């Protein structure tokens, strides 16, 4: 999550854009050379003293991980986990050439990290080209509709994907004409006098797209039903549609930003499969449909259907953290000076804060975890705060600054507690104000994923399934909001993810 603030007017002086909070998941860096269906990580050629050398291959199995009897990727990972807590040198895992087809994400964490200053290397065996691949190769094609030259092949029922590659080139998902006419909107439904939409198969896989200069909104359909006049009603997923309406204010959203109120195009339906190079996946029926380009033979074409969203996840703990707003149940305010403010326009978390001017006033919150962070704000009119854990003074922090106000500031961070039940208490000691915006519970001890290197490996063919399950109710620039709470930002997935690295 990122939290940034705006200048505004209200009970206290204006806030300014703040730095990202220190409790955010730190991102490590992996440098892909390119992305065109795959990303190649530049090779590393030098190692320190090597403790152990392991081998993996696409057909590997077992736990010996020798060159003569290599392991699978997951098997090599298990062997690494068994030795990396007492590393006396680097561990090198050589990947033999070939395609490592994943059925799920290859996940690494603190238990897979290099220890004692050493590194775990996952790298290509010299002279060979390993590929970590998130696709299924689709075979068994037969012509389904000779008039339109539509071909189809079986896939597992329930398969989901948003990308298709044929002979190394990306194919086009089915898509209607731009700005189809004849629709009127009523809430989450678009109606038309055209009754032919009711014949579309598997309407829940179809999406409405509203493209405008600020946002591109996608919502899947929940159904297509008949209107009273014999037309069609295209009914969007209600949760997705609701998420497109949420406006949490600047800087997260501008005032009066566009909502999903127009059909720019419709996509992902068999009925729209009309042109060469297009495809449609009927996950409910278990078929992939495609119209080949001129010169393509479906008996020899290499058809790759990416089905894995995240190829590699490298994550430390505790990962993504969510604030507990100042209005949450379980937060107890003591003293006569507390007041509540909402809509100040400063960029407060969920738009509100509690604050007091009385020394000795306090706020308490009981939580389960190994640490907690206090989100308040720093400014010249703030002062010192006593921070107590389980009844004992842990530290005294000073929220007073001589510069500009920083809202949602992490003024206190307590870590290293024994995992379990604890109570934090804040007591105002000095200054004009003490303010509470939110608490951030740290559930488990902070352990970064670290000292892991990939080199000489190609990563290719992943997909993005968020649209299929939740739609794409973005703010702008790809920022996504939770369907259940528009103040909570959804973490975008990727081919390679590093969180708290």
201-254 pLDDT tens trace:
889 889 999 998 788 899 999 999 999 999 999 999 998 898 888 776 665 666
Q: What is the pLDDT of residue 492?
A: 76
Cα-to-chain-centroid distance, residue 445:
22
- Whether 37 has a pLDDT exceeding 60, the answer reads no
pLDDT score, position 321: 87
Beta bridge partners of 40: 458
Please indicate, yes or no, whether residues 301 and 338 belong to a single structural domain of this protein: no
Q: Which residues pair with 55 in a beta bridge?
A: 94
Rounded average pLDDT over 418-446: 96
User: How far, in Å, are 59, 266, 281, 285, 390 from residue 349 at the CA level?
Assistant: 50, 36, 41, 45, 26
Quick one: pLDDT at residue 486?
67
The band of 48, judged by pLDDT with boundaries at 50, 70 and 90, is low
CA atoms within 13 A on the CB side of 302: 6
Cα 60 from Cα 400, distance rounded (Å): 60
Quick one: 360 and 246 in the same domain? no
Mean pLDDT taken over the chain: 87
CB-based contact 290:276 (threshold 8 Å): no
Which one of 261, 283, 306 terminates a domain?
306
Q: pTM score > 0.85 for this model?
A: no
- Indicate if 255 and 145 belong to the same structural domain: yes
Pair (263, 167) in one structural domain: yes
Average pLDDT (181-204) is 94
CA distances from 72 to 76, 481, 496 (A): 6, 37, 20
What tokens appear for 318 in the block?
């505790």
User: pLDDT-derived band of residue 125, with 50, 70 and 90 as boundaries?
Assistant: very high
E strand or H helix that includes residue 76? helix 73-83
The token pair that represents 42 in the structure block: 């530049």
Dihedrals φ, ψ of 428, to 5°? -70, 130
Q: End-to-end CA distance of the chain, in Å?
A: 15
* Position with higher pLDDT, 42 vs 59: 59
For 275, other C-beta atoms within 10 Å of its C-beta total 12
| Sequence-ordered list of residues with C-beta below 8 angstroms from that of 392, at least 6 positions apart, any chain | none
- Give me the helices (H) in 236-279, please: 238-245
Domain boundary (306, 330, 358) is at 306
Percent of the chain with pLDDT over 90: 72
| Mean of pLDDT values over 257-266 | 90
For residues 92 and 224, membership in a common domain is answered with no
Both 169 and 269 in one domain: the answer is yes
Shared domain for 153 and 259, answered yes or no, is: yes
Whether residue 194 sits in one domain with residue 57: no
Q: Is the pLDDT of residue 419 over 90?
A: yes
Count of CA atoms in the C-beta half-sphere (13 A) of 78: 10
304: Cα within 13 Å, side-chain hemisphere: 21
Is 126 among the domain residues?
A: yes
- Residue 351 — pLDDT band, cuts 50, 70, 90? confident
Question: CATH number of the domain that 329 lies in?
Answer: 2.60.120.260
Do 332 and 203 have their domain in common? no
Residue 192 in domain: yes
Residues 87 and 223 in one domain: no
- Is 344 within a domain? yes
Structural contact between residues 236 and 208, judged by C-beta atoms closer than 8 angstroms:
yes
Question: What confidence score (pLDDT) does residue 471 get?
Answer: 83
Rounded Cα–Cα distance for residues 115 and 146 (Å): 61
Average pLDDT over residues 323-339: 96
Q: Does 404 map to a domain?
A: yes
Percent above pLDDT 70 for the chain: 87
CA dist 73 and 62 (Å) reads: 11
Residues 483-493: tens digit of each pLDDT? 677 667 777 78
Query: Among 243-257, 335-349, 383-397, 428-442, where is mean pLDDT lowest?
Result: 243-257
Whether residues 172 and 198 fall in one domain: yes
pLDDT tens digits, residue range 274-295?
A: 999 999 999 989 999 999 999 9
Residue 471 lies in a domain: no
Q: Domain tally for the chain?
A: 3
**Which residue, of 277, 306, 335, is where some domain finishes?**
306
* Residue among 261, 295, 262, 288 nearest 174 (CA): 288
Q: What is the pLDDT of residue 38?
A: 54
Higher pLDDT, 249 or 299: 299
Do 92 and 119 reside in the same domain of the chain? yes
Residues sharing a CB contact under 8 Å with residue 422, sequence separation 6 or more, in sequence order: 366, 367, 368, 369, 372, 389, 390
In a domain, 283, yes or no: yes
Task: With respect to residue 7, please indicate whether it lies within any of the assigned structural domains.
Answer: no
Which 3 state secondary structure label does DSSP give 60?
coil
> Is 396 domain-assigned?
yes
Domain span at residue 95? 31-134+308-317+447-463
């Amino acid at each position: 999550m990122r939290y940034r603030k705006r200048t505004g007017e209200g009970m206290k002086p204006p806030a300014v854009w703040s730095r990202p909070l220190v409790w955010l998941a730190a991102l490590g860096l992996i440098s892909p050379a390119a992305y065109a269906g795959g990303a190649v990580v530049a090779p590393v050629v030098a190692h320190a003293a090597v403790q152990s050398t392991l081998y993996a291959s696409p057909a590997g199995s077992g736990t010996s991980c020798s060159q003569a009897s290599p392991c699978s990727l997951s098997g090599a990972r298990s062997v690494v986990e068994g030795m990396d807590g007492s590393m006396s040198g680097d561990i090198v895992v050589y990947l033999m050439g070939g395609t490592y087809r994943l059925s799920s994400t290859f996940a690494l964490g603190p238990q897979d990290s290099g220890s004692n200053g050493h590194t775990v290397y996952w790298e290509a065996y010299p002279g060979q080209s390993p590929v970590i691949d998130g696709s299924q190769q689709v075979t068994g094609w037969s012509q389904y509709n000779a008039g339109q030259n539509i071909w189809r092949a079986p896939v597992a029922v329930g398969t989901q994907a948003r990308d298709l590659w044929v002979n190394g080139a990306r194919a086009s998902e089915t898509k209607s004409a731009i700005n189809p006419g004849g629709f009127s909107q009523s809430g989450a439904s678009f109606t038309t006098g055209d009754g032919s939409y009711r014949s579309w198969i598997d309407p829940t896989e179809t999406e409405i797209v509203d493209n405008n200069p600020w946002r591109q909104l996608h919502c899947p359909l929940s159904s297509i039903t008949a209107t009273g006049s014999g037309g069609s009603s295209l009914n969007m997923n209600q949760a997705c549609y609701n998420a497109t309406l949420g406006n949490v204010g600047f800087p997260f959203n501008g005032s009066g930003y566009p909502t999903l109120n127009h059909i720019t195009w419709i996509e992902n339906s068999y009925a729209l499969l009309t042109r060469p190079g297009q495809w449609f996946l009927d996950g409910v029926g278990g078929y992939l449909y495609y119209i080949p380009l001129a010169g393509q033979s479906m008996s020899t074409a290499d058809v790759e259907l990416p089905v894995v969203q995240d190829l590699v996840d490298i994550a430390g703990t505790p990962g993504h953290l969510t604030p507990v707003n100042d209005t949450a149940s379980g937060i107890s305010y003591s003293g006569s000076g507390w007041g509540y403010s909402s809509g100040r326009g400063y960029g407060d978390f969920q738009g509100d804060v509690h604050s007091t001017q009385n020394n000795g006033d306090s706020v308490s919150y009981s939580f389960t975890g190994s640490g907690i962070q206090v989100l308040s704000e720093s400014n010249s009119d703030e002062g010192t705060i006593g921070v107590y854990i389980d009844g004992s003074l842990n530290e005294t922090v000073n929220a007073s600054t001589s510069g500009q106000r920083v809202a949602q500031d992490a003024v206190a961070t307590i870590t290293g507690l024994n995992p379990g039940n604890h109570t934090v208490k804040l007591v105002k000691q000095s200054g004009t104000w003490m303010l509470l915006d939110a608490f951030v519970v740290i559930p488990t001890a902070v352990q970064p994923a670290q000292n892991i290197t990939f080199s000489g490996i190609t990563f290719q063919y992943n997909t993005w399934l968020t649209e299929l399950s939740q739609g794409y109710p973005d703010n702008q620039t790809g920022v996504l909001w939770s369907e259940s709470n528009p103040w909570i930002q959804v973490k975008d997935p990727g081919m390679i993810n590093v969180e708290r690295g």
